[in-house]
A = this chain, B = another copy of it.
Amino acid sequence: MESEEAILALSALAQPTRLDVFRLLMEHEPHGLPAGEIARRMAVPHNTMSSHLAVMTRAGLIGAERQSRSIIYRARLGAARALAAFLVKDCCGGRPEICAPLIAELSPCCPPAMTAAKEAAHD
């Protein structure tokens, strides 16, 4: 991920409504939610939400697909992962020891590199 791309994603998420929308859409993976439903749940006018969704789409954080009259938005989990990786990647270049604790922090909820699907059922 390039800096310019990261800046887009960071500014998209650096806004309360949009951050909440992204989290909402993450919760609704893989089905997604229609634009109107998102606006209703966030208690934001539909046109305001529309511009927020446009910002997030431009940043690559979400994707849209028309389904009859509705437009279904879905979180792009890969984008979140890429951004998270970007934030700690630099330090890894020369010194893996610096970001190793990140793995440790995430590992409790997501056992790394093994039968994650089964082992994590106790969560």
Inter-chain contact B123/A96, CB cutoff 8 Å:
yes
Please count how many residues in chain A sit with their CB below 8 Å of the partner chain's CB atoms.
56
Inter-chain contact B15/A13, CB cutoff 8 Å:
no
Closest B residue to A27 using CB positions: B90
Oligomer copy total: 2
Closest B residue to A23 using CB positions: B90
Query: Within 8 Å CB of A78, what residues of B?
Result: 101
Inter-chain contact B98/A103, CB cutoff 8 Å:
no
A103-B113 contact given A11-B14, A80-B88, A87-B80, CB 8 Å threshold = yes
Inter-chain contact A109/B87, CB cutoff 8 Å:
no
Inter-chain contact A29/B91, CB cutoff 8 Å:
yes
